[in-house]
Structure 1
Amino acid sequence: MTTPEQLPHLETAGELQAALAEIANWEKEQNKLMIWDQLTRLPFKLLDKITPKIIHDKLGKLLDELGGYIQNGGNYLVAGRKVGSLIEAASVAAGGPEKGPFSLAVMDQTAQKLSHSSRNVATAQGATTGFGGVFTLAADIPAILGLSLKVIQEIALCYGYDPTDKAERIFTVKVMQFASSDVVGKKAILKELNLQAGGSGDIAAGTNEAVSKIQGWKEVVTVYRDNWGWKKMLQAVPVAGMFFGAYTNRKTLEDVAEAARMLYRKRRIMARLAEME
C-alpha cells in the first residue's frame, strides 16, 4: 500500500479520483459522433474500385506487418531511452525525483510533448505523400500506421508501461482501433480491456479476448483504413491532395495520441488507486 505521506510528490486518492472523472467525461464525449464524423465512416468500396493494385498490395503487406508486430514487435518497437530522458527532465524541473515513480502531471506533460511532435511529423508526411495523388497514397498508408504505433508506444512508456510486452502490444493495437471506431466500437473496446466503468483496469484477460476478436488482424487494418472515409479519397487528387493529406494525417495522429493518453492515463490512475487500498 502506498500513501501520499510516503511519496509526497504523487497525487492523493482524491486527486486521482478527480482525474478519473475527467477521463470519464472524455469517454462520454466520444459517444457524441457528429454527422460529419458519421459520413467519414461510409464504406470504402468506391476507393477500392479506383485504387491501383500497388495500394492493395501495400495493404496486404500491412496485414502481415501488423501480425508480426503483435507476435514479436515487428519493425515498430521504439527505444525507451528518449522517452526516459524526457520524463526524467520533466520530473526534475517540477521538483520531483529523477527516477520514478513520477507524478501524473509529469507523465501527462511528457505524453503531451510527444503527441505534438508526432502530430507535426504526420502533417509534414501527409503533405509530402499527398502531393503525388493516389500513387503516393500507397506510401502514406503504411507511414501513418507506423507513426500511430510509434506514438502510442511512446505514450505507454510515459505512463510506465512496457510496449515490448505482448499484452501491451495488443493494447497498442486496440488503442489505435479505438481512435478510429464508432460509438459501439469504442464501448466494446473499453469492455474488452476492463477499462469501462467498474472495470478492474487489468488488461490481461481483456487482451486475450481482444486477440480472439481481431480475426487475423484484418479487422484492425480494415476499420482503420475505412474510417478515414472520403477524406482520404480527397488526398488522391494530385497537388490538392497535399493539403488534404496534411490535414487528415494531422487529425489521425491527434485522435490516436489523445486516445493513447487517456487510456494509459486511466490505467495508471486505476493502478495507483488500487495500491492505496
Structure 2
Amino acid sequence: MTKVESADYLKKELKKIEKWEKNQKGLWFWEKIGRLPFVFLDKLTPKFIQEKIGLLIDELGSFIQTGGKYLISEKSILKKFTSKDSSMEGNITSIDQLEQLPISTMDEVANEVRNSRTKMATIQGATTGIGGLFTLAIDIPLLLGLSLKVLQEISLCYGYDPKEKSERIFIVKCLQFTSSDIVGKKAILEDLSTFDQDKQNEQMISQLQGWREVVTTFRDNFGWKKLFQMIPITGIIFGAIINRSSIGDVAETGMMLYRKRRIIERINQLEKLQAKTVVENE
C-alpha cells in the first residue's frame, strides 16, 4: 500500500517551493556583464563554430516536436525506484506506478540524478576545456544535451512522461526559467501555473512562445566562459566549474517545478476526496 501524504504536509512543502521561487532573482550583475564579450568574440569566432552553435535552435525545435536525438529511455530511472521503494510489490515497470509513490521517494531519486549529472557535467566541461576556443564548439551542444537529459530524468522521477509533447514543452520552460532574469522568471511561473489546464484545453501550443529565446539566452550565458576558454588548458578549470554550476541550476529548477506540480495535484486529489466523503455522509 502506497503511503499517502497528509494535506498539511503537502501544503507545508508547497510553501517551501514558493519561497524558493521568490528567492530566484534572475541573473546576477556579473552574469549580465558576462554576455558582453560574446558580441565582440563572435567577430573572432570561426564560421564553422558559429554554424555549430546555430544548430542548437533547430535541435531544440526538434526536441519539442519529436524528442529528436535527446529523448531518453525511462528504464534506468524505473530501476532506481525499484531499489528504493518497498511499498510496491515486485518491480516498478511503468510511469503510472511512479505517480503513486511518496514524494519523499521521488525527491531521493531526483537528488541522485542531480548529483550524478553534475559530476558528469564537471568532467565534460574539463575535457572540452582542453582545446580552448575550438573545443567550445563541442561543449555547448553537449551541455544542451545534458541539460535536456537531466530534466527528462527528473520529470520521470515525479511521474511525468517526457515522451509526451506537453512535457517536453514544460522541460524547455524549465530551461528558459534557469537562464531568465527576474521579470522573465515571473512570467514563466505565471505561464506554468496554468500549464496543466492549458494542456487539457489543447492550448499548449501557446507554451512554445519564446523557445528560440531559450537558445539565444543559453548561448549568451557563455560569454565569460568563451572568453576564458579561448586559452587552451585554462579552459579546463573554467569549463569544469561553469558546466557543473549550469547543470546544478537546471536540475534544481526541474526538481522544484516538477515537485510543485505533483504536490498541487495531490492536494487537489485530497480536496476532491474530502468533498466526495462529505457528500456521501450527508
| TM-score, normalised by the number of residues in structure 1 | 0.88
Are the equivalent residues in 2 in contact too, given 1:43–1:226 (CA < 8 A)? no
Q: Give the structure with the larger helix fraction.
A: 2
Letter paired with 2:101:
F
Contact kept, 8 Å, 1:152 with 1:256, in 2: the verdict is yes
Query: More deviation in 199-208 or 152-161?
Result: 199-208
2:40 is aligned with 1:46: yes
User: Which structure has the larger Rg over C-alpha atoms?
Assistant: 2
Q: Which amino acid aligns with 2:118?
A: R
Q: Match for residue 209 of structure 1?
A: 206
Q: How many residues align?
A: 261
Q: How far does residue 136 in structure 1 lie from its aligned partner after superposition?
A: 0.4
Can you list the C-alpha shifts for 1:54-92, whole angstroms capped at 9, x where unaligned?
211112222211111111110001100100111221112
Distance verdict in 2 for CA 1:84–1:221, change over 3 Å: same
Residue 3 (structure 1) aligns with: none
* 5+ residue gaps, structure 2: 272-282
236, 252, 273: which one pairs with 1:242? 236
Amino acid at match of 1:72: T
> What SS does the aligned partner of 1:44 have?
helix
Distance 1:142 1:26, change over 3 A: same
Provide the rounded CA distance (Å) in 1 between the counterparts of 2:35 and 2:133.
20
Q: Within 5 Å, which residues of 2 pair with 1:26-45? A: 26-31=20-25, 34-42=28-36, 44-45=38-39
* Residue in structure 2 matched with residue 134 of structure 1 by the alignment: 133
One-letter amino acid of the counterpart of residue 209, structure 1: S
Alpha-carbon separation, structure 2, partners of 1:33 and 1:169: 24
More divergent stretch after superposition (202-211 vs 23-32): 202-211
- Is it true that 1:113 corresponds to 2:112 in the alignment? yes
Structure 1 distance, partners of 2:246, 2:222, is 8
Distance 1:155 1:208 in 2: 23
Q: Aligned-pair RMSD on alpha carbons?
A: 1.9
The answer as to whether partners of 1:180 and 1:224 remain within 8 angstroms in 2 is yes
Q: Following TM superposition, by how much is the alpha carbon of 1:166 offset from its aligned partner in structure 2, in angstroms?
A: 0.5
> Counterpart in 2 of 1:124?
123
Pair 1:203–1:79, CA change in 2 (3 A) = farther
Contact 2:26 2:179 in 1 (8 A): no
Compared with structure 1, are the counterparts of its residues 168 and 134 closer, same or farther at alpha carbon in structure 2 (3 Å cutoff)? same
Aligned residues with identical type, % of pairs: 49
1:39 counterpart letter in structure 2: I
The alpha-carbon deviation at position 43 of structure 1 amounts to 6.8
Following TM superposition, by how much is the alpha carbon of 1:245 offset from its aligned partner in structure 2, in angstroms? 0.4
- What 5-or-longer segments of structure 1 have no aligned partner? 1-6
